Structure 1
Amino acid sequence: MSQPKKRIRIDISALRASRDFRLVFSAGVISNIGSMMTYVAMPFQIKELTNSYLWVGAVGFVETVPLIIFGLYGGVLADAFDRKKMILISEFGAMLVSIGLLLNVISGFNSPVLILILAMIFAATDGIFRPAVDAMIPQVVPYQKLPSAGALNSLRHQTSSIAGPMIGGIILASGGIAFAYSLDVLSFVVSLFLLIRINSAKPIHGAEKPSLHRIKEGIKYALSRKDLLGTYLVDLSAMFFAFPYALFPFVADELGGAWTLGFLYAAIPAGALIATLTSGWSNHVSRHGRIIAFAAAGWGFGIVLFGLVHSLFFAIIGLMIAGFFDQISAIFRGLIWNQSIPDHLRGRLASIEMLSYSVGPQMGQVRGALFARAFGLEFSLISGGILTIIASALVSGMLKDFYKYDVNTNVFAKKLKDFREKNAKIDHNI
């Protein structure tokens, strides 16, 4: 194969290098497919029960507070306790939420309030799960394979985000909401079976007692680094202004009905998948900050296009463009985080990272619903995309350390690289 193609195609070397990463990757693919079916089924069920923009947008609103609280504390726990145990406990808790959603349907109760309560609980489990997984990856994957691990994690997410909504849309139109929730429960059972087999993943620097001081320490470190702050703010603003998912059930009504819903949910991850499969070039780029800034603007452009069109085909094209650029941003944000944050702070910073890419979408659903109710669907989508482009330019101009970030010259990245390579040599000699 020619050298240019080798530079473009996705690097899968992390799967060969780490057994634990293979298990986490496989479990994630399976459970994410099930969760994405639920992700489609929940707002669809609420829309069917209430036919209200605000009720659908409320899903994102009620998830925000537990995500912030448990996300921050989950990061402290990930720096203090065995990350494997945290992953298993939170995954089991998420399975119980799916069982609750299933019982809400098959019992005939069908309460939108209960759905919101269960969404809050799921957000809490997610707040514990994600920092633990994110903190464990640099621990079980060799430093040189971290770009590969990041790309593969993105591939896992996108594959699940395409298959899950597509399957979910078909199931909702044919088998019903209860069947979708049943498959999600089954996916958690298989995921837990795989995750039980990973090795213990205790913090490298020893256990630290969880406390408010530890949370403050992580936040203080993040605020002290303008390059990290830029990665958080760019993505937070992009998701807050232009996250369109809460509007999909209503857009689907205009484009042909429930059968189109799966296509809308799958379009963004489909674009992201294309970016991931051609991400080999990311290993050969050092100026990560400016790529993130331009990619965020690309996400905004895609959402503007989505808001302007009135056919399913061009709606999918707009969303795929948005997904492609969002994934480019995610790849390079992940590289900055994994290649420059010290291991003893990785869990706490992972929780802040999670909030930057999770709270934004949740609040973005609320913003989108409020704007749609006040000004209409089209205005909500187009204005959100334009505001995203403006926000990316403002953050880049205000935080020069972020925009000018270069992994070859950044002092934090160079220090961490030297530390991990030194430890790798010691482990090899032992």
Structure 2
Amino acid sequence: MYKSIWNDKNIRFYLIGGGVSRLGDVLSGMAFLFLAYDLTESAVYTTGMAIAETAPYLIFGLVGGVIADWLPRKKLLLFLDCLRIPLVFSVVVFHHFDVISYVYLLIVSFLIQSIGCFFNPAHRAVLPQITSIAERNMVNSLNDTVSRGVTILSPVISIWLLSYGVIYFFLLDALTYVVSVFCLSKVHFTEQKPQFNKSIKHVFLAIAEFFTWLKGQGTLNYLFLLTFMVVFFNTWVWEVGLLLALTDMTSKSKEIYSILQGFFGVTVIVTNLCVPFFVKKLNVIIYLIGAGVWGIGILYYGILYEIGHFFIGAVLVGVGLPISSLVRVYLIQSLVPESKLGRAFSSNAVLLYLANTLSLAIFGLLALVIPIQGLMVGSGLLIVLASLIGLLFLIRTPKKARSFPVNPPE
């Protein structure tokens, strides 16, 4: 099955281009932080650089979706990638002549991430245009597998590049955008006539129009709400809580945390590749099961709270997370009209970034008064309860369940 899909030229170049571009994004994200610290030796300024990498998605995320719906997506993607190449390469040039500054790095980082706000929803919205409904589940799995594979590969490449110098991160990043341009130029599909309006007023009207339409979409509203909740309860306990817990348990916390993340990444890849063979129709019920397994994983390593059990919990999270993610993407692709896909994916991204930001901020404060183990157990328990309540609601009230069309029309 995967072989026949890979033989499709459009899908092959789409996946390769997206994967290579994603690798460059991850490496440059680390490089901006490394270089910022090298220049300032300040945790505050380094944190400011991290904020510059996430803030654009909260500011321009929804606008990016509108533009992705208005403009021809292929031309937009090619233009944005071509724009990122000189921006990244300028860091190399400035560094070579020893005129690089923290402020310039901050500006370039902000601009590159802002471009991503427009690139990412457009790129996501292309996939339904080059696939049939029958093969979309499998292509989504491959796409997510490539992204997760990049996450595992990037630490290895970063260690290799650090032996030469941080600036080589940016050289490789510029090269990945060149490869992305080449791959995108090979992807061909038919697009609707663009509906571009130059007025800023029309941008906000388009956003308002999308959310007005969204009010009547029970499945998507439920999906977005539950996703926000699950991500909110997961982000801190997974990204920060585990590291802090390991720090209390062992002197090799960073090494074990890296191995744990790699273990998790491998589990996600295997799950992504297996899902299309075992689950033929992705729907809200499958989403709730995935979220439930995700929550059980957090609850498991929260209750047992030992290094060995952290790995078992990571496997459970690595099974539940991709199942929920694949269902969410598939339902957005299936239930949202092509003319609104960009805004749908940008809204989803803004929701995820907002959940991440709030989770880090609120749980960071709660950790001052509540033990890490308590936060893990509470988060996992709430995710599991929300999933169970949702499943019982759909199973016991079939009339209500009809308002959640679990199987999109062919």
Shift of 1:76: 1.5
Which SS does the other structure have where 1:198 is aligned? coil
Provide the residue aligned with 1:80 in structure 2: 70
Contact map agreement 2:263 2:311 (CA 8 A) in 1: yes
Q: 1:295 aligns with which of 287, 290, 293?
A: 290
**Residues 75 and 131 in structure 1, CA contact (< 8 A), matched pair in contact too:** yes
One-letter code aligned to 2:210: G
- Matched-pair contact (CA < 8 Å) for 1:341–1:416: no
Q: Does 1:207 align with 2:195?
A: yes
1:192 pairs with 2:187? no
Q: 1:133 aligns with which of 123, 126, 142?
A: 123
Please point out which of 154, 158, 168 is paired with 1:179: 168
Structure 2 distance, partners of 1:215, 1:405, is: 33
On the 8 A contact 1:105/1:177 being kept in 2, the answer is: no
Q: Does 1:123 align with 2:113?
A: yes
Contact (CA 8 Å) 2:292, 2:388: kept in 1 or not? no
Q: Structure 2 length as normaliser, TM-score?
A: 0.79
Alpha-carbon spacing, 1:157–1:75, altered in 2? closer, same or farther (3 Å): same
**C-alpha spacing 1:195/1:240, structure 2 compared with 1 (3 Å):** same
How far off its partner does 1:137 sit? Answer: 1.1
The corresponding residue for 1:151 is: 141
Contact kept, 8 Å, 2:56 with 2:113, in 1: the verdict is yes
* Aligned mates of 2:18, 2:105 — CA distance in 1: 24
SS of residue paired to 1:79: helix
2:273 aligned with 1:271, yes or no? no
Cα pair distance change 1:364/1:196, threshold 3 Å: farther
Report the secondary structure of 1:202's partner residue.
coil
| Residue number in structure 1 paired with 2:226 | 234
Give the TM-score taking structure 1 as reference length.
0.75
Q: Tell me: CA distance 1:306–1:397, structure 2 relative to 1, closer, same or farther (3 Å).
A: closer
Distance (Å, rounded) in 1 between the aligned partners of 2:148 and 2:50: 20
Structure 2 unaligned spans of 5+: none
Number of matched pairs:
398
Within 1, Cα distance between the matches of 2:245 and 2:35? 15
Q: Deviations over 1:362-419 (max 9, x none)?
A: 54444555556x459x72x86256335415644874895799899x9778677752xx
Q: How does 1:45-64 map to 2 (within 5 A)?
A: 52=43, 61-64=51-54
User: CA–CA distance in 2 between the matches of 1:116 and 1:206?
Assistant: 34
CA RMSD of superposed structures (Å): 4.0
Whether the 8 Å CA contact 1:169–1:261 is kept in 2: the answer is no
Which among 280, 284, 288 is matched to residue 284 of structure 1?
Answer: 280
Aligned equivalents of 1:403, 1:346: Cα separation in 2: 32
The amino acid across from 2:151 in the alignment is S
* 1: CA distance, partners of 2:25 / 2:402: 40
Q: Which residue of 1 aligns with 2:209?
A: 217
Moved more, 334-343 or 150-159: 334-343
Task: Decide whether the 8 Å contact of 2:281 with 2:407 is kept in 1.
Answer: no
State whether structure 2 residue 378 is matched by structure 1 residue 386: yes
